[in-house]
Structure 1
Amino acid sequence: MRRIIIPLIFGLAGAAILISLGTWQVRRLAWKEAVLADIEARISAAPVAIPAVPDPEADRYLPVAVRGTYGEGRIRVLSSRQLYGAGYRIIAPFETGGRLILIDRGFVQERDAIPAAPQGEVTLRGNLHWPSETDKYTPDPNLEADIWFARDVPAMAAHLGTDPVLMVLRGGAGEGAKITPLPIDTSGIPNNHMQYAFTWFSLAFIWLVMTGYFIWRIRNPLKGT
């Protein structure tokens, strides 16, 4: 018995740690699902007017409706879509209620020409967003080639002379067939806690099996050893 006490304690302690990590991931899964449900509810709520001073945190995903006209200029942000390949998100200025904001019109495939923005007054519906797509490795925009590599709201606003407010369209108001709105949803928010929990519980099971085998070998040594 003395020979198996230390391996037994070591095995049970290791399994307990692994199980606790799996249990923590299960709790994180419940938390993340609640967060995603709250975001979905916010995204799909009835649209309101854009606040006078939108807050990038409190008003993220806020559904809004605006009426106005598209302005001059636009930005191409390098992007891609599954099954479609490379292309661009088209960001355009939009005048509404005496202010200029940014509109994410949607996705255009790389080989297609960018459709002109609808003329005249239009009503748009979408969600406010301040995407976190830049880090220290994000290249600066290639203005000569007219390519941006991320939706950097303050930088895009400065370039087009608008307020730092981005509205992502939920549908195309007068948009042509060759531009596809990419409305905000939760599909891009990672939720891998179930896989993590399964990994930790699997490791705990393997740890216990290996501990049991090690103890069995101690109690049943090979002949001649």
Structure 2
Amino acid sequence: MRRLIFLSLVGGLGLAALVSLGVWQIQRLAWKGELLQTIETRIAAAPVALPDAPSETTDRYRAVRVNGQIEPGELHVFWVTKAAETGYRVIAPFVTEDGRRVLLDRGFIPSAAKAEDRPIGGATVTGNLLWPDEGDWTTPEPDTAANILYARDIAYMSDKLGTEPVLIVARDSTAAGISAQPVTTAGIQNNHLQYAITWFSLALIWAAMTTYFLWRSRPKSEG
């Protein structure tokens, strides 16, 4: 009898824990869905003037339009497109009409175009503010000799180009030969449904195993 009580207790607690984790992932799924909808709405919103002091907390993905000058000097961030084409994202300094100097992600160029000159000068740019979440401890250090970065590190790029730590990602191409890579939600993972299915599947397996062991441990009738 003690064995049955012990197995029932362990089985019940384990089942409750697994089901709770599955329910939590369903709640996270709903939260992530609402978050993605909010981000998509902000990305596609009518552009506004560049805020005086953009904040990652309040201005991430905000649509903006700026007039000014694309200046010489650019950084190249190694990139692989969805079509598996390798090349670079071109990051250039942009000086607005009121004299602010910010970072501009002009878009993608193929590897063969790295050494080519790109048009600079007056431009009106519509894009979105972004604080990229790229790179980790495995990311290589920038190759300064070859002008190759492996992540859009805003602090590093703004220091190298002498700009505010503010990045505008252009929605449209800023010159021939540069493919726009506008901000989207495609890179934001939403795997909570898969996680929920995993936890509920484990709960089902746990329940089946608990039932089996309880059946095996039932008192045997004599005679």
- Report the TM-score, using the length of structure 2 for normalisation: 0.90
User: Contact between 1:102 and 1:166, CA under 8 Å: does it hold in 2?
Assistant: yes
Instruction: Give 2:48's aligned amino acid.
Output: V
Query: Which position in structure 2 is the counterpart of 1:151?
Result: 152
Q: Distance in 1 between matches of 2:71 and 2:180?
A: 18
Q: Distance in 1 between matches of 2:179 and 2:84?
A: 11
Q: Distance in 1 between matches of 2:51 and 2:106?
A: 21
Q: Distance in 1 between matches of 2:28 and 2:37?
A: 14
Q: Distance in 2 between matches of 1:164 and 1:215?
A: 62
1:121 aligned counterpart, secondary structure: strand
User: Contact between 1:108 and 1:114, CA under 8 Å: does it hold in 2?
Assistant: no
Query: Which position in structure 1 is the counterpart of 2:195?
Result: 196
Q: Distance in 2 between matches of 1:149 and 1:193?
A: 29
User: Contact between 1:63 and 1:126, CA under 8 Å: does it hold in 2?
Assistant: yes
User: Contact between 1:84 and 1:109, CA under 8 Å: does it hold in 2?
Assistant: no
Listed as ranges, the gaps of 5+ residues in structure 2 are none
Query: Which position in structure 1 is the counterpart of 2:41?
Result: 41
Query: Which position in structure 1 is the counterpart of 2:14?
Result: 14
Query: Which position in structure 1 is the counterpart of 2:102?
Result: 101
**1:85-112 CA deviation, whole Å, 9 max, x = no partner?**
3221110111211222111011122233
Q: Distance in 2 between matches of 1:106 and 1:217?
A: 65
Query: Which position in structure 1 is the counterpart of 2:178?
Result: 179
Q: How many Å apart are 1:220 and its aligned residue?
A: 8.4
User: Contact between 2:107 and 2:170, CA under 8 Å: does it hold in 1?
Assistant: yes
Q: Distance in 1 between matches of 2:173 and 2:85?
A: 21
Greater CA drift, 112-121 or 23-32: 112-121
Q: Distance in 1 between matches of 2:134 and 2:209?
A: 44
Q: How many Å apart are 1:148 and its aligned residue?
A: 1.0
1:185 aligned counterpart, secondary structure: coil
- Report the TM-score, using the length of structure 1 for normalisation: 0.89
User: Contact between 1:94 and 1:102, CA under 8 Å: does it hold in 2?
Assistant: yes
User: Contact between 2:93 and 2:163, CA under 8 Å: does it hold in 1?
Assistant: yes
**1:18-62 CA deviation, whole Å, 9 max, x = no partner?**
001111111111111111111111111110110122223211111
Q: Distance in 1 between matches of 2:135 and 2:11?
A: 44
Map residues 134-173 of structure 1 onto 2, 5 A cutoff.
134-173=135-174
2:51 aligned counterpart, secondary structure: coil
**1:164-184 CA deviation, whole Å, 9 max, x = no partner?**
2110011114x22x3211111
Q: Distance in 2 between matches of 1:84 and 1:111?
A: 15
Q: How many Å apart are 1:205 and its aligned residue?
A: 0.1
Q: Distance in 2 between matches of 1:77 and 1:13?
A: 50
Query: Which position in structure 2 is the counterpart of 1:75?
Result: 75
Listed as ranges, the gaps of 5+ residues in structure 1 are none
> How many equivalent pairs are there?
219
1:200 aligned counterpart, secondary structure: helix
Q: Percent identity?
A: 48
